[in-house]
Amino acid sequence: MKQELFDFLKTDLQFVKGVGPVVAARFEDVLGGRRVLDFLLHRPSGVRRRDITDNVADVTPGDIVTVRLNVQSHKVGGKFRGRRAPSQVVCTDMGGNRVVIQFFNVNFLDYWLKKLPIGEYRVVSGKLERSPRGNWIINHPEFIETVDGADKIPAVQAIYPAGEGLTQKTFAAVRDQVFRALDERVGLNDADDQTREFFDALRHVHFPTDPADLAPHAQYMVKLAYYELLAHQSAIAITRRERRDARHRRPHRAHKYDLMDRFYQILPFELTGAQQRTIDDIRADMARDVPMMRLVQGDVGSGKTMVAMAAAVAMAETGAQTVLMAPTDTLAQQHYAKLAPMCAQMGLVCDILTGRDKGGARREKLVSLRSGRTRLAIGTHALFSDDVAYKDLGLVIVDEQHRFGVSQREAMRAKGTNPDLLALSATPIPRTLSMTIYGDMDVSVINEKPAGRLPIKTTKLPLSRIDALVGRVAAQIDAGAKVFWVTPLVAETAESDMTAAQARFDDLKKFWPNIGLVHGQMDKKQRDAVMAEFADDNSDMPLLVATTVIEVGIDVPRATIIVIENAERFGLAALHQLRGRVGRGALQSYCVLLHGNYLGEDGMRRLDVLCETDDGFVIAEQDLMMRGTGELLGTRQSGWVQYHFVDYREHRDLFKLASRAAMEMNGPTQFILDLMFIFDRRLAVGA
Ligand code: ADP
Ligand code: MG
């Protein structure tokens, strides 16, 4: 790949015309990165046609309608008797039907009303709904144009899985800019054939004209899926080869201190058999001359942190350092709060380093790391900032492994001499896939929960019964429980996620004044602060309303209830993850799956799986079996290896093909190396 193209792919989205730092940060939340490349890998999940109709009665409620309307009257909403009433614009269509356009966010009212002047015609496009009384309603239309300007409404629109604060229009605008640059500026035209073919496939997927273009077996989808798998399988093959190479040998570390016995003495509980077996696996790895590359798969709450601690202690017996990297500040703080006192009892220096550390205090921490004095460093990405150096980094532990990009993992490894790597993951993947996905790693499974853990009681409940639920929750809160209340990501409309969370927050605040709210549009610091207050055992914040931003792995022992709204919109694995926020202490915990009132048979069956089993492996298998193609929502949280184009269920034959091609490969071609960069599959030890 030409340098120019390579640089373009790495460009920060904030430098794309019309984006800027704020929107780029929102993209980062959705894409998991903020480079042009991250955008290109985020494909549309659907296609929407917006052909203009004259009569809303021709359109099925629930579908998108694009219709010419004559504006009749405005009715300003507001708060009436404590209830929020929407503002309404009453219109008629050409068939004489009365169509009401509603706006819930009264702040922008002037703006909307100006776009819909009384007596005039406008072409409006949005989701058509029918009220129980038979009224036609469009809430927050996506397009309002004059009749002359109706061609601004795209007849065919790619629909991207969006997130908080991003609209489909923004996605389309960025896409257009990016592909224009690829065509005109960044040297794609004189790239080699394979590279051009690859970007051509990307273009087809980003500009679909028909839903069939995005089906898993559509020509370009298969192509991209294959490239993606090839990148991954090649990385695995290379890593395997390199691990056998003498240059990548694990340095021999002499045993200097006895700490393990002391560790077992101060352990606050008996380890489970599975925890102990995993620790044995790790210690056996540490006795070999290839660096450890072990993945610990343990269901949520199976006690992976203590296994990590044992590994750190084993490493400290040689005098070498360990780094424990968590995906968020909050999680890092939690690990530190738990592990630092144990370290103190063993005479081990433990420290925490996150993005919050600044100035002199930070410099002191860095000196201690560089001198080797700090033996266990807990933190976030900050642990591998450029200016952080280690005296002898022996072990890198990555918690909730899937949240880290492979290249970040590599940067961390680069700070030591072939350090051991231990990855902890709470998301089981089906055994049938484990080899193709983690073929370069050894796997330990913690398939046992600490004794005395009660299974979480999971029930499903239609949204219409929410009042009864609030009553039940109230009783539990009176008894000292803490409650997570999760509101879903609404795939398309940007504001609605936040609005949904905010509305639920306002509702519930009437019952408990001191509840918290976190959502993706909040400033990160503020979000962390609320989260920390909720997690604090001594705080009197009984309930936290959250969009799915609530963190994987956060440990709030007093939290015994989690309510998940519109549970049918989440993937099974994601629901299981969320459910794992409770049931982490000795108390009985509950998970309530609130679902829409009209849940189809499939939806019912999916939720039943959750109600019936607590076993992450079983759920993962079921998830794989049921995983639909359009079901992108929640996959980011599902924790499986994040593929952009590969569909686990539909592309199983491609797994085999790619794996064979990678094994037979004699040293990677430049194109394969490019693919590995593109898909961030640079697992190789020294590469
Ligand atoms: P996860 O595997 O999800 O990271 P944690 O390591 O956070 O789980 O452990 C969950 C809770 O269980 C913690 O409060 C931890 O102290 C506790 N725990 C871990 N191992 C045991 C054990 N063997 N017996 C009792 N409690 C344990
Ligand atoms: Mg954990």
DSSP states along 203-236? HHHHS-SSGGGGSTTSHHHHHHHHHHHHHHHHHH
Q: Look at residue 402 in the predicted model and tell me its pLDDT.
A: 55
CA of 458 to the centre of ligand 1 (A): 21
Q: Kindly identify the ligand whose nearest atom is closest to the C-alpha of 401.
A: 2
Q: Look at residue 492 in the predicted model and tell me its pLDDT.
A: 46
CB 365 within 8 A of CB 351: yes
Helix%, strand%, coil% for the chain, nearest 5? 45, 20, 40
Name the residue at shortest CA distance from atom 18 of ligand 1.
303
Q: Look at residue 555 in the predicted model and tell me its pLDDT.
A: 76
Q: Look at residue 628 in the predicted model and tell me its pLDDT.
A: 44
Q: Look at residue 457 in the predicted model and tell me its pLDDT.
A: 95
> How many angstroms separate the first and last alpha carbons of the chain?
17
Whether the model clears a pTM of 0.85, i.e. scores above it, the answer is no
From the CA atom positions of the chain, what is the Rg in Å?
Answer: 27
Q: Look at residue 350 in the predicted model and tell me its pLDDT.
A: 98
Pocket of ligand 1 (CB under 6 A): 269-272, 275, 298, 300-306, 426, 450, 553, 555, 584
Q: Kindly identify the ligand whose nearest atom is closest to the C-alpha of 576.
A: 1
CA of 399 to the centre of ligand 2 (A): 7
CB 559 within 8 A of CB 587: no
Q: What are phi and psi of 166, to 5 degrees?
A: -130, 135
Which strand (E) or helix (H) includes residue 571?
A: none
Q: Look at residue 329 in the predicted model and tell me its pLDDT.
A: 83
Q: Look at residue 161 in the predicted model and tell me its pLDDT.
A: 83
Which strand (E) or helix (H) includes residue 500?
A: helix 494-509
Angstrom distance (rounded) from CA 643 to CA 41:
9
CA of 609 to the centre of ligand 2 (A): 24
Q: pLDDT tens, 597-606?
A: 777 787 888 8
Neighbours of 254 (CB within 10 A): 7
Angstrom distance (rounded) from CA 132 to CA 673:
57
Q: Kindly identify the ligand whose nearest atom is closest to the C-alpha of 400.
A: 2
Low-confidence spans in the chain with pLDDT less than 70:
80-83, 105-108, 246, 401-413, 430-437, 489-499, 549, 551-553, 627-642, 681-687
CA of 300 to the centre of ligand 2 (A): 7
Ligand 1 atom index nearest CA of 298: 2
CA of 137 to the centre of ligand 1 (A): 50
Name the residue at shortest CA distance from atom 16 of ligand 1.
303
Q: Look at residue 413 in the predicted model and tell me its pLDDT.
A: 66
Ligand 1 atom index nearest CA of 555: 7
Q: Kindly identify the ligand whose nearest atom is closest to the C-alpha of 398.
A: 2
Q: Look at residue 636 in the predicted model and tell me its pLDDT.
A: 45
Q: Look at residue 300 in the predicted model and tell me its pLDDT.
A: 80
CA of 301 to the centre of ligand 1 (A): 6
Ligand 1 atom index nearest CA of 452: 25
Helix and strand numbers (H, E) in the chain are 23, 24
